[in-house]
Amino acid sequence: MIEVVRPGPLATVQDLGRPGYAHLGVPRSGAADAPSLRLANRLVGNPEDAAGIEFTLGNAALRFRCAAWIAVTGAPLDVCLDDRPHGMNAPLRVLEGGTLTLGTPSRGLRSYLAVRGGVNCEPTLGSRSTDLLSHLGPPPLAPGTHLPVGAADAPITVDLAPVPSALATPVLHIVPGPRDDWFVPDALDVLTSAPYTVTPAGNRVGVRLDGPLLERAREGELSSEGMVTGALQVPPNGRPILFLTDHPTTGGYPVIAVVRHHDIPTAAQLRPGDPVRFRLS
Residues 241-281 have pLDDT tens digits of 999 999 999 988 999 999 999 999 999 999 999 999 999 98
Q: How many CA atoms lie within 13 A of 94 on its CB side?
A: 32
pLDDT of residue 160: 73
pLDDT of residue 156: 82
pLDDT of residue 165: 76
| CA 196/CA 238 separation, integer angstroms | 12
Question: Alpha carbon of 237 to those of 130, 132, 216: distances in Å?
Answer: 31, 25, 10
102: alpha, beta or left? (left if phi > 0; alpha if psi -120 to 50): beta
| CA 81/CA 215 separation, integer angstroms | 51
Summarised one tens digit per residue, pLDDT across range 195-206 is 999 999 989 999
- Residue 6 near residue 55, CB atoms below 8 Å: no
User: Between 208 and 221, where is the model more confident?
Assistant: 208
pLDDT of residue 187: 95
- Thinking of the domain 171-280, which architecture would CATH place it in? Beta Barrel (2.40)
Summarised one tens digit per residue, pLDDT across range 78-114 is 999 999 999 999 999 999 999 999 999 999 999 999 9
Summarised one tens digit per residue, pLDDT across range 17-37 is 999 988 888 889 999 999 999
Which of 60-69, 106-115, 153-162, 198-207 has the weakest average pLDDT? 153-162
Nearest to 259 by CA among 229, 238, 219: 229
pLDDT-derived band at 155 (thresholds 50, 70, 90) equals confident
- 123: which residues sit within 8 A by CB, 6+ positions away? none
Q: Is the bond into 178 cis (omega within 30 degrees of 0)?
A: yes
- Inform me whether the pLDDT recorded for 177 exceeds 90: no
Domain boundaries, the chain: 2-147, 171-280
- Residue 203 near residue 267, CB atoms below 8 Å: no
Mean of pLDDT values over 218-223: 82
Q: What is the mean pLDDT of the chain?
A: 93
Domain 2-147 fold: Jelly Rolls (2.60.120)
- 51: which residues sit within 8 A by CB, 6+ positions away? 13, 14, 15, 118, 119, 120, 121, 128, 129
**pTM of the model as a whole:** 0.94
pLDDT-derived band at 154 (thresholds 50, 70, 90) equals confident
